[in-house]
Amino acid sequence: MRASLVSLPLIAACSTVQPATRLAPYDESCRNPQRPCTLSYDFEPSGAAPDPFGQPGQVLLANEDGLVFRWDLRASEPWLHDHVDFAFHAVGRIDKVEALASARCDGHPVVLMASNFMPGHRGRNPLKERVLAIVDTPGNARVLEGLTREIARLAEPEELVKLEGLALSADCRTAYVGIRSRSPVASQGAQGSERFVREVHAFALEVDWGGTVDDARPSGIVQIDGEGCSGQPEGISDVVSLPDGGLVVLTSYEKEITPPRPSSGPIGELSGSLWHRDADGHTQRIACFPGHKPEAVALAPDGRSVRVVMEDDDYGGRPIASFAVTVPLP
């Protein structure tokens, strides 16, 4: 696989989401059309995908706790945050959501939500190791047992894998899974134990979206080669499948730094890169995000650009700065 290290100019239009106090419950505070919802202070976007249940141009954003919001993309702006509504939740069915994907599959609108596949410190937790399929309506959810099983097999007996990134091909016959890091089971949680990787695993799906057939099998692996914008190890943050068979892959780097005292707390180094892989296997880096933590990417309605969602709140106790930029595709 060839990789170009030439970074094309990033054409970005940003809208900063203002921090707000979380109102509970979400569904009551966001359903009133006369009172558009604002993303809450502790909102942590972890996945983005076109909304198959709503109107064209709307994008779903997943919070890591299983809540999903709907952003309305207006024609006048690349990304507007002034109309953000609660869409649905999968709380109690999935935990630590790290990826979102969507498509229309055999006439059915489908949203896939993937957890991080990292067991909790108190043992294995099935809510953190599953792919959830939401079909036809937000209330109709089931675990994709076949894909869940195959992703779990990516870990060696003495190794953990962390998933961040999920995509579904236009024909719904292939799922793409991004693996961000690998780490030894024995050193779970130990500083420096994670080995960041850029692996995109493909799985052939045999799923009856309106029924009970549910199976998956490995069908290939793509390594995203080339130096990231940070010059540091970058792991996958998200994956998008393009209609022409290509892929868009988002990677990121983050490092906590303990500053000299006196200080308000730790700070961090943040950066990320965006990669385009065409159907012929040619990969190039197309955008850099110095000083930001890119978390999610979604294909724009025009199919000629993507929206990259940042979430810059990991260190320093600063308010979340959730915003998005537009990046044209080659």
Q: Give the pLDDT confidence of 95-131 residue by residue, as tens digits.
A: 899 999 999 999 999 999 999 998 765 567 889 999 9
Q: Which of 63, 64, 82 is nearest to 73 (CA)?
A: 82
CA dist list (Å): 246 to 14, 224, 240: 26, 13, 9
Query: What CA–CA distance (Å, rounded) separates 254 from 267?
Result: 10
- Exposed/middle/buried for residue 228 (C-beta within 10 Å: 0-12, 13-18, 19+): buried
Collapsed DSSP state (helix, strand, coil) of residue 237: strand
Torsion of CA 116, 117, 118, 121, to 10 degrees: 110
Supply 235's token pair.
Answer: 């792991």
Sheet holding 267-277, edge to edge: 3-4, 283-288, 267-277, 247-257, 235-241
304 φ, ψ (degrees, to nearest 5): -105, 0
Supply 27's token pair.
Answer: 């569904």
Supply 43's token pair.
Answer: 């909102």
Q: Where are the domains of the chain?
A: 3-328
Q: Which residues of 154-186 are buried (b: 16+ CB within 10 A; e: fewer)?
A: bbeeeebbbbbbbbbbeebebbbbbbbbbbeee
Per-residue pLDDT of the chain (330 residues; tens, 9 = 90+): 333 323 333 433 333 333 333 333 334 444 444 444 444 445 677 899 999 998 777 889 898 888 888 876 554 444 444 466 778 889 889 989 999 999 999 999 999 999 999 876 556 788 999 999 999 998 899 999 999 999 999 987 788 899 999 999 999 999 999 999 998 876 655 555 889 999 999 999 999 999 989 999 999 999 999 999 989 999 999 999 999 999 999 999 988 666 655 555 556 688 999 999 999 999 999 999 998 889 999 998 888 999 888 876 655 444 445 677 889 999
Q: What angle do CA 250, 254, 256 make, to 5 degrees?
A: 170
In tens, the pLDDT along 288-318 reads: 999 888 999 999 888 899 988 887 665 544 4
Supply 237's token pair.
Answer: 């943050």
Terminal-residue alpha carbon distance, the chain: 18
Which CATH number applies to 3-328?
Answer: 2.120.10
